Amino acid sequence: MSGDPPPDRSAAPRPDRVDPLSDLGTIALVGLMGSGKSSVGRRLARALGLPFHDADAEIEKAAGRSVADIFAERGEAEFRRGERKVIARLLSGPAHVLATGGGAFLDAHTRALLKDKALVVWLQADLATLVQRVSRRTTRPLLVGKNAREVLEAQMAQRHPIYAEAELTIDAGRGSHGDAVEAIVAALRGPRRTAA
């Protein structure tokens, strides 16, 4: 067979030509209230051609009442139970972009599941931006009747070390939601740290 021509490899896929965005699986956004998880998530889903799910909206659908009403009528523990269930269900489905509620990644079980089944992105934002953004909506149960700056400052101290377990951290502060989407897409195209 020494006379055979060399195989033509011109049509074979080359690893450097594979689009790094084509097979990412589910992307989950975590971060404090006001970090833009839902708005950025919706735009990111559009940019990646994936469906979008908002965990809080799914919890509301499943419970037939608003997050505020669940907190008021059934308490936070019951909300967290629903949150755990809904996120597990969404993560068992097809690839999508998932906006989680600010407390979801704090739950050890949900955190482990998110890290296992999704690429977790932390939308990090500065306190002034968060305070300004949460002031647009008055229904967040953890902020009703409270000083938003104080609550968010305390949550930063408690939650930032946990959000830092995300695979990617994106500055979602002073820039627009579009800037955050661009930063995520650029980071997804680049090298990522392997799961801890």
Q: Which is nearer to ligand S3P, 87 or 181 (CB)?
A: 87
Angle ∠(87,92,97) on CA atoms, nearest 5: 65
Considering the complex, what minimum distance in angstroms separates the CB of residue 41 from ligand S3P?
10
Paired tokens of 192: 């990522």
Considering the complex, what minimum distance in angstroms separates the CB of residue 80 from ligand S3P?
9
d(CA 50, CA 2): 50
Show the site string, 48-87: x = touches ligand S3P by CB under 6 A, - = not. --------x----------x--------------------
**Element (H or E) spanning 142, and its range?**
none
Q: Which is nearer to ligand S3P, 82 or 168 (CB)?
A: 82
142 is a site residue for ligand S3P (CB under 6 A): yes
Q: How far is CA 163 from the centre of its chain?
A: 10
- The correct pick among 26, 28, 37, 180 for binding ligand S3P (CB under 6 A) is 37
Length of the chain: 196
Q: Shortest CA distance to 76 belongs to which of 111, 98, 101?
A: 101
Angle ∠(22,187,130) on CA atoms, nearest 5: 120
Query: Under a CB-based contact definition with an 8 Å cutoff, are residues 59 and 82 in contact?
Result: yes
- How many other CB atoms are found less than 10 A from the CB of residue 157? 8
Query: What dihedral angle (degrees, nearest 10) is formed by the CA atoms of 168, 189, 86, 160?
Result: 10
Considering the complex, what minimum distance in angstroms separates the CB of residue 83 from ligand S3P?
7
Q: Which is nearer to ligand S3P, 50 or 101 (CB)?
A: 101
Considering the complex, what minimum distance in angstroms separates the CB of residue 60 from ligand S3P?
10
101 is a site residue for ligand S3P (CB under 6 A): yes
d(CA 176, CA 28): 19
- The correct pick among 50, 98, 140, 184 for binding ligand S3P (CB under 6 A) is 140
Considering the complex, what minimum distance in angstroms separates the CB of residue 14 from ligand S3P?
41
Q: Which is nearer to ligand S3P, 103 or 173 (CB)?
A: 103
Query: Would you tell me which residues interact with ligand S3P (CB under 6 A)?
Result: 33, 37, 56, 67, 101-103, 140-142
